[in-house]
């Protein structure tokens, strides 16, 4: 798969124009785009009368009588000025099934973003984690927070800080971290699988929004449960007893 940068379209144009823009930019006769995936979208608003969306795109292409590998080599050789490169492997290298057998099921304290993804990955690897969360499930938590906002009654265990989804659940859900760690991609892909908008994967400043975030967290909870994990709400970790080696 190849990656090309600076493919542009106007605001009013549909995404369907992307393949033809790639072909035009590369200018290679007979080239066809078989598949493409938007990797990044940014806005070029320098000309207010014609604001452009600018994309980096991964694509699979073909040339008549050429294998996929031959097509890629030919394009890389022939289109040196086209901001073209081999697409990096962005797949998060997760163990499909854990091979290590554990004496006990792993226990995670807290079901905020960190505990959620630790739980999800352990569950996907077959380790059936047990997650302890001091607060309540989203459904109950939302009622407690609304009561606090209306009546000023604070539930010390179920509030804007504590409960399923963690401290940011009542925030706006801006997902703007731009670190290059491949695990960021894994998080965004899981959000999309759990019902988040597909553009999370390529928007420069992805934004999930509070309502969608809640549905996404419930869906990730279901995935953990389907994989044999357990989430115990209103279960606060109060200490650790260490015995043996």
- Which residues here bind ligand FAD, judged by CB under 6 A? 109-115, 132-135, 162-163, 166-168, 171-174, 236-237
Our CB check for ligand FAD shows the closer of 171 and 219 to be 171
Our CB check for ligand FAD shows the closer of 19 and 115 to be 115
Our CB check for ligand FAD shows the closer of 115 and 129 to be 115
Q: Residue-wise over 136-159: b if at least 16 C-beta within 10 A, else e?
A: bbbebbbebbeeeeeeeeebebbb
For residue 69, give the H/E element and its range.
helix 68-78
- Please check whether residue 192 is in contact with residue 200, taking contact to mean a CB–CB distance below 8 angstroms: yes
Residue 232 phi/psi, 5-degree rounding, is -105, 105
Our CB check for ligand FAD shows the closer of 32 and 199 to be 199
Q: How far is the CB of 173 from ligand FAD (least distance, A)?
A: 5
Closest residue to bound ligand FAD by CB = 112
CA 164 to CA 110: how far, in whole Å?
8
Strands 2-10 and 107-109, how do they pair? unpaired
């Amino acid at each position: 798969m190849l990656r090309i940068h600076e493919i542009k379209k106007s605001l009013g144009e549909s995404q369907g124009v992307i393949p033809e823009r790639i072909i035009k930019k590369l200018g290679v006769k007979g080239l066809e785009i078989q598949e493409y995936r938007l990797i990044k979208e940014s806005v070029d608003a320098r000309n207010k009368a014609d604001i452009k969306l600018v994309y980096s795109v991964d694509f699979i292409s073909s040339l008549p009588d050429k294998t996929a590998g031959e097509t890629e080599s030919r394009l890389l050789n022939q289109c040196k000025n086209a901001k073209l490169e081999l697409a990096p492997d962005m797949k998060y290298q997760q163990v499909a099934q854990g091979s290590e057998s554990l004496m006990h099921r792993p226990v995670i304290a807290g079901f905020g973003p960190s505990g959620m993804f630790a739980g999800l990955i352990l569950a996907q690897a077959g380790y059936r984690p047990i997650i302890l969360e001091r607060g309540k499930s989203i459904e109950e938590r939302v009622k407690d927070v609304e009561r606090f906002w209306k009546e000023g009654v604070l539930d010390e265990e179920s509030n804007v800080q504590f409960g399923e989804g963690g401290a940011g659940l009542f925030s706006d859900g801006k997902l703007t971290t731009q670190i290059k760690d491949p695990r960021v991609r894994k998080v965004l892909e899981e959000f999309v699988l759990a019902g988040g908008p597909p553009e999370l994967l390529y928007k420069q400043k992805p934004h999930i929004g509070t309502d969608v975030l809640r549905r996404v967290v419930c869906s990730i909870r279901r995935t953990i449960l389907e994989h044999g994990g357990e989430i115990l709400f209103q279960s606060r970790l109060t200490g650790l007893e260490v015995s043996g080696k």
